[in-house]
Amino acid sequence: MLLLDRHGPKEDVWERAEYLCQAETKQVLAPLASIVGSDAITDDLKLGALLEPNRTVEEVAPFFDRLDMIVIHFPNAANGRGFSTARQLRQAGYKGTLRAFGPLIADQFPQALACGFDEVEIIGAAATRQPVEHWMEALNRISFLYQRDYGADDSIPDQRVARAANG
């Protein structure tokens, strides 16, 4: 497993549990289904939800104020639904940490950050095949994006509009 943000590798401090009542720490990642209606949620618990690609923003939105992290599962590198889900979560007002999880490839790292992800957890052979250097180099290969970066207005369409306005 390799966990990265835009600054490089980082340690994963979250415990994964199938059910909240099984957690042994106060920072727990659990499937959204086990969070809904759980009586194990306490004020001192930092809570993260694991979302499968078939989950919708509407299902998780009622928990925004309670979730410190949302982890969106990518079943494979070719399944891009997680990018759309991340963007929709940010547009719906989610302010916590967003993590992409799965066998992503380094070339997808800039796009993941542009869609609103804060970090990417790479698993299995993808983590072995592409070391940290590949992921960090990928950030410098793409300097402009068509999609607006979360929190910035420097996309190619924005630049074109600005140039047209300045004559």
Of the candidate ranges 24-28, 31-35, 136-140, the one whose mean pLDDT is the lowest: 24-28
**Do the bridges between strand 8-9 and strand 2-5 make them parallel or antiparallel, or are there none, so unpaired?**
antiparallel
Ranges of each domain in the chain: 2-165
pLDDT score of 134: 92
pTM of the model: 0.84
- Residue 130 phi/psi, 5-degree rounding, is -125, 100
Query: 123-148: per-residue pLDDT in tens?
Result: 888 888 999 999 999 988 766 666 66
pLDDT score of 142: 65
What sign does the CA torsion over 162, 165, 166, 167 have? positive
pLDDT score of 139: 87
Q: Which two tokens stand for residue 70?
A: 């949302």
Q: Which fold has domain 2-165?
A: TIM Barrel (3.20.20)
